[in-house]
């Protein structure tokens, strides 16, 4: 699914499609930087994009699912509760 459509479906609004897509594409490389974690990337997205932590978390998950889905399961292991 296209990243922007996935954000819309997840209830995350955006104004600038190009910069929003670029921010989404930046998530995966950030995850592989030394010392970075899912939580640190969420915090950085929240600060950089002016989002709440919750919205930034959804944004980050959608970005990972779109651009680097292989890392989604290890990152979220134990975080999702039924």
Q: Which domain holds residue 34?
A: 3-70
- C-beta separation of 3 from 21 below 8 A: yes
Candidates 43, 41, 62; CA nearest to 52 is: 43
* Pure H helices in 10-71: 17-31, 38-49, 53-67
Of 23, 21, 64, 51, which Cα lies nearest the Cα of 43? 51
Q: What is the number of domains present in the chain?
A: 1
| Residue 47 located in a structural domain | yes
Name the pTM for this structure: 0.86
At 8-53, the pLDDT tens digits run 999 999 999 999 999 999 999 999 899 998 999 999 999 999 999 9
76 inside domain: no
Q: Which pair of tokens denotes residue 40?
A: 């640190």
Whether 75 maps to a domain, the answer reads no
pLDDT band (50, 70, 90) for residue 82: very low
- pLDDT of the residue at 73: 74
* pLDDT tens digits for range 51-75: 999 999 999 999 999 999 988 777 6
Whether 13 is covered by a domain: the verdict is yes
* Token duo for residue 46: 């929240």
């Amino acid at each position: 699914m296209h990243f922007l459509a996935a954000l819309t479906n997840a209830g995350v609004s955006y104004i600038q499609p190009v910069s929003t897509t670029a921010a989404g594409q930046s998530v995966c490389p950030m995850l592989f930087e030394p010392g970075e974690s899912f939580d640190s990337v969420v915090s950085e997205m929240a600060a950089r994009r002016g989002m709440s932590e919750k919205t930034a978390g959804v944004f980050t998950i959608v970005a990972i699912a779109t651009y680097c889905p292989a890392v989604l399961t290890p990152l979220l292991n134990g975080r999702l509760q039924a």
